[in-house]
Chains A and B, each alone.
Chain A
């Protein structure tokens, strides 16, 4: 067995400060390419949506692009792209992000654009109705009109969780979307889109003093508003196995996904990290345990994946969250048999431990994935903004490859032992389009 390569680290510098209005700022300069990434993250996501307003956090994200104090509708897009840049935003369970990647000379323009909408988006009836239509098309293209839409990220939470916050559909029902009002949007902005509830991160080719002055210039006069109290969404985990099954009329093949609760990703980070490694031991590549067994040996699944967080954002999610396994099966596949084999493989891992070199090679591959993500300015700006928001530790991004490399076999075994059938939530998708 080959010896593992030494795990290298990045040394991106990290500067942090807080403006008088409470906005937390992270600067991480790196002049290796003439580009910058700007990310603004607000501490509100799908879990904070009120009942009767499923999908509202995401709908509101769309409204943040519809004009602001000094910007007409369409102006944001045109200014970013007309500067040679790209933009987007995304809504997660615990946060909502907005970002731009641009040639370095457009940094101040991006800061201006983000500050302008932090002061206030133009929330109008016309824009609301337009974006409700756009969001419905987004849901149709990603969920309703394709096979396996929402599997498992929308299908598994209602099986695993009991509270509305944790279990509801984050894309939203068409009924809830249609009943959203401008007043709802104004209230949502007032409560959650406060300078004290946000972080700003800038990565890439800039001078720290110049960028700091620009940030003061553009964000300094954003009115100070405090963060609302951070909700605790914790709930007891399953005490007995939970199951659900549904038919997808477009799916040609059966599938199954299971999830197990994991320790608090922030408060119990040291206990949580082994699960991140375990997911890869089980499913990363042809030499991983479950791929070798289920795909190669038994041929009981055609593909299997494992990850943490329903949206795959393992270092950017709060408690409660889960380790997920999802598999697609050949025609006539038997989910029960797949789950039994998973249990068997987990027991074998707990009983016999890891093979020589197995942990080391998995850690090396995780390091490559982590380092590769940080090569892009946005792969630094976005996670650092979230790490600042959730942990006050943006520099954790530099430390992750090393920390992953320090996870021990004993910790992996302990984590695997916790993935018992009676703690599991499972959803099975039946092929409604099987020939």
Chain B
């Protein structure tokens, strides 16, 4: 046995932002280019405003975006991208259509050309769209068999009610009814540069990369559609919603709590309060539920931000037989942080974690691209990292305790449990009022 003491930390240097440039193109597209030359690649993210687009069509559009152009088939597109080490894919969230890709840095011009063709001259060929439609239906059916997906679906409905965010996955039969002509129309109507942001990160000269983007995407024009989503409704706490999944060997415990947007002056304090509660491994809730009780493997909490509102989401998969006790411990830890100020040491540990992981997140091309693109979709720039770091560094114990009392109180939680109702209903009902429902 040796006696050793923990080495001190060498204090972090100031955050150094990479070299970057930004330009608004005449068509309305904003291009941000960031230099990180560590590997000879380039990362690409394009976010296009897509709020309130009809969900089945928008989802299929994101799946079928690369199925063909006037001159290229889906195979041509994929092969031409591969030739420069590239790849592009598309996804959808309730606010945006997101195109993600990367390539050898030497292939940037070619990737931008192909992207421009896809954006300005899409074909949505009937046969290929039919294939993608069937694949999407199968994919949704598989999702519908996954407990995490079912639990989230039930929670979103409960949280958002009649708001557009309430449903984020279309029904299979809705997707089956979508026709290629509807995708062409939706594309013409909504895949527009106005309000869109293109982020390029990698072994590039930022100004030259923007020149290349301007050259390739200059022909992408047309008015955007202003589709402001109404503000998300406030949470309406009520009885725990129990969704039956007969024979389930685990229960999916989900809670939604109110939260603040990134730009709120109290956001840093809320982020720290969330960390202390359950936002990282060394949080009270994870140490209690996993490392002390052994009820669960990967419990986690996170603040989710959409344009029309932010929510703090709590999630754990727990063994069926400890579903009641898991809710008990969760209510206890929420009640504790909402009622009593955390310790100084807990706050410092959480603070260092958040500040450190910010640096880790910006240490790769992909990390920087994701961060810059996500920030941009909320009207922020990478410089926000400095302001946010300063807010995190200076948040006081009082401020953290104050937001915890306001936002983490268990009385405000919307709770959903997906599990074997026959086994878990009575233990849950011992702790709170329970109603049965469907996902």
Interface residues of A (CB under 8 A from B): 1-8, 10, 30, 32-35, 69-70, 73-74, 77-79, 81-87, 101-106, 108-109, 111-112, 116, 119, 129-138, 140-141, 144-148, 218, 221, 249-253, 284-287, 292, 295-296, 299, 302-303, 328, 330-331, 357, 360-362, 364-365, 367-368, 371-372, 374-377, 433
Partner of B298, one of A141, A250, A330: A141
Q: Is the CB of A5 within 8 A of B107?
A: yes
Q: Is the CB of B147 within 8 A of A146?
A: yes
For this complex, 8 residue pairs linking A to B, each with C-beta atoms less than 8 Å apart, are: A3-B83, A35-B360, A84-B357, A137-B318, A218-B4, A302-B139, A361-B79, A364-B82
Q: Is the CB of B12 within 8 A of A253?
A: no
**When A77-B282, A302-B139 are in contact, do A287 and B78 touch as well, CB less than 8 Å?**
yes
Q: Is the CB of B249 within 8 A of A144?
A: yes
Q: Considering the chains assembled together, what is the distance between the CA atoms of A86 and B354 in angstroms?
A: 11
Q: B146 — which chain A residues lie within 8 A by C-beta? A: 146-147
A302 CB, nearest partner CB in chain B, Å: 4
Q: Considering the chains assembled together, what is the distance between the CA atoms of A399 and B138 in angstroms?
A: 40
Q: Considering the chains assembled together, what is the distance between the CA atoms of A136 and B13 in angstroms?
A: 42
Q: Is B103 an interface residue (CB 8 A)?
A: yes
- Beyond A8-B106, A69-B2, A286-B75, 17 extra complex contacts between A and B, CB < 8 Å: A5-B85, A33-B359, A77-B281, A82-B353, A84-B353, A85-B356, A135-B297, A146-B147, A251-B145, A252-B144, A285-B81, A331-B138, A365-B85, A365-B87, A368-B85, A371-B41, A376-B367
Q: Considering the chains assembled together, what is the distance between the CA atoms of A140 and B295 in angstroms?
A: 12
Q: Is the CB of A81 within 8 A of B250?
A: no
Q: Considering the chains assembled together, what is the distance between the CA atoms of A320 and B75 in angstroms?
A: 35
Q: Is B7 an interface residue (CB 8 A)?
A: yes
Q: Is the CB of A302 within 8 A of B135?
A: yes
**When A74-B282, A145-B147, A253-B138 are in contact, do A375 and B38 touch as well, CB less than 8 Å?**
yes
Q: A116 — which chain B residues lie within 8 A by C-beta? A: 4
Partner of A105, one of B12, B147, B357: B12
Q: Considering the chains assembled together, what is the distance between the CA atoms of A240 and B66 in angstroms?
A: 41
A423 CB, nearest partner CB in chain B, Å: 29
Q: Is the CB of B281 within 8 A of A81?
A: yes
A72 CB, nearest partner CB in chain B, Å: 12
Partner of B6, one of A112, A135, A284, A377: A112
Q: Mark B83-109, 1 if CB is under 8 A from A, else 0.
A: 111110000000000000011111100
Stretch at the interface among B53-61, B286-294, B332-340: B286-294
Instruction: Identify the 7 closest CB pairs spanning chains A and B, nearest first.
Output: A84-B356, A133-B294, A105-B10, A33-B363, A287-B78, A368-B85, A361-B82
Q: Considering the chains assembled together, what is the distance between the CA atoms of A131 and B362 in angstroms?
A: 33
Q: Is the CB of B282 within 8 A of A81?
A: yes
**When A35-B359, A103-B359 are in contact, do A330 and B249 touch as well, CB less than 8 Å?**
no
A131 CB, nearest partner CB in chain B, Å: 7
Q: Is B20 an interface residue (CB 8 A)?
A: no
Q: Is the CB of B142 within 8 A of A365?
A: no
**When A5-B106, A81-B282 are in contact, do A140 and B250 touch as well, CB less than 8 Å?**
yes
A26 CB, nearest partner CB in chain B, Å: 19
Partner of B356, one of A102, A135, A145: A102
Count of chain B residues near A, Cβ 8 A? 89
Q: Is the CB of A147 within 8 A of B142?
A: yes
Q: Is B77 an interface residue (CB 8 A)?
A: yes
Q: Mark B127-138, 1 if CB is under 8 A from A, else 0.
A: 010010011001
Q: A299 — which chain B residues lie within 8 A by C-beta? A: 131, 134
Q: B141 — which chain A residues lie within 8 A by C-beta? A: 252-253
Partner of A372, one of B110, B144, B366: B366
Q: Is the CB of A250 within 8 A of B145?
A: yes
Q: B366 — which chain A residues lie within 8 A by C-beta? A: 372, 375
Q: Is the CB of B295 within 8 A of A109?
A: no
The chain B residue sitting closest to A6, CB to CB, is B106
Q: Is B169 an interface residue (CB 8 A)?
A: no
Q: B37 — which chain A residues lie within 8 A by C-beta? A: 32
**When A361-B82, A374-B39 are in contact, do A33 and B362 touch as well, CB less than 8 Å?**
yes
Q: Is the CB of B145 within 8 A of A295?
A: no
A360 CB, nearest partner CB in chain B, Å: 7
Q: Considering the chains assembled together, what is the distance between the CA atoms of A221 and B2 in angstroms?
A: 9
Q: Is the CB of A74 within 8 A of B291?
A: yes
Q: Is the CB of B75 within 8 A of A74?
A: no
The chain B residue sitting closest to A255, CB to CB, is B142
Q: B365 — which chain A residues lie within 8 A by C-beta? A: 372, 375
B312 CB, nearest partner CB in chain A, Å: 19
The chain A residue sitting closest to B146, CB to CB, is A146
Q: B6 — which chain A residues lie within 8 A by C-beta? A: 70, 79, 109, 112
Q: Is the CB of B79 within 8 A of A70?
A: no
Interface residues of B in 344-374 (CB under 8 A from A): 348-349, 352-353, 355-357, 359-360, 362-367
Q: Is B9 an interface residue (CB 8 A)?
A: yes
Q: Considering the chains assembled together, what is the distance between the CA atoms of A365 and B87 in angstroms?
A: 8
Partner of A296, one of B9, B36, B75: B75
The chain B residue sitting closest to A78, CB to CB, is B282
Q: Mark B46-86, 1 if CB is under 8 A from A, else 0.
A: 00000000000000000000100000001111111111111
Q: Is B11 an interface residue (CB 8 A)?
A: yes
Most chain B Cβ neighbours within 10 Å, of A144, A360, A375: A375
Q: Is the CB of B78 within 8 A of A252?
A: no
Q: Is the CB of A362 within 8 A of B248?
A: no
Q: Considering the chains assembled together, what is the distance between the CA atoms of A331 and B1 in angstroms?
A: 61
Q: Is B233 an interface residue (CB 8 A)?
A: no
**When A70-B2, A74-B287 are in contact, do A84 and B355 touch as well, CB less than 8 Å?**
yes
B363 CB, nearest partner CB in chain A, Å: 4
Q: Considering the chains assembled together, what is the distance between the CA atoms of A32 and B105 in angstroms?
A: 17
Q: Considering the chains assembled together, what is the distance between the CA atoms of A14 and B13 in angstroms?
A: 26
Q: Is the CB of A252 within 8 A of B145?
A: yes
The chain A residue sitting closest to B245, CB to CB, is A145
Q: Is the CB of B83 within 8 A of A357?
A: yes
B169 CB, nearest partner CB in chain A, Å: 15
Q: A85 — which chain B residues lie within 8 A by C-beta? A: 353, 356-357, 360
Q: Considering the chains assembled together, what is the distance between the CA atoms of A2 and B9 in angstroms?
A: 51
Most chain B Cβ neighbours within 10 Å, of A6, A86, A250, A286: A286
The chain B residue sitting closest to A370, CB to CB, is B39
Partner of B145, one of A82, A132, A433: A433
Q: Is B319 an interface residue (CB 8 A)?
A: yes
Q: Is the CB of A34 within 8 A of B356?
A: no
B75 CB, nearest partner CB in chain A, Å: 5
Q: A79 — which chain B residues lie within 8 A by C-beta? A: 6
Q: Is the CB of B39 within 8 A of A2?
A: no
**When A70-B2, A133-B295 are in contact, do A286 and B74 touch as well, CB less than 8 Å?**
yes
Q: Is B296 an interface residue (CB 8 A)?
A: yes
Most chain A Cβ neighbours within 10 Å, of B83, B102, B292: B83
Q: Is B280 an interface residue (CB 8 A)?
A: yes
B72 CB, nearest partner CB in chain A, Å: 11
Q: Is the CB of B83 within 8 A of A371?
A: no
Q: Is B317 an interface residue (CB 8 A)?
A: yes
Q: Is B40 an interface residue (CB 8 A)?
A: yes
Q: Is the CB of B297 within 8 A of A141?
A: yes
Partner of B78, one of A77, A147, A286, A372: A286
Q: B106 — which chain A residues lie within 8 A by C-beta? A: 5-6, 8
**When A73-B291, A371-B39 are in contact, do A292 and B1 touch as well, CB less than 8 Å?**
no
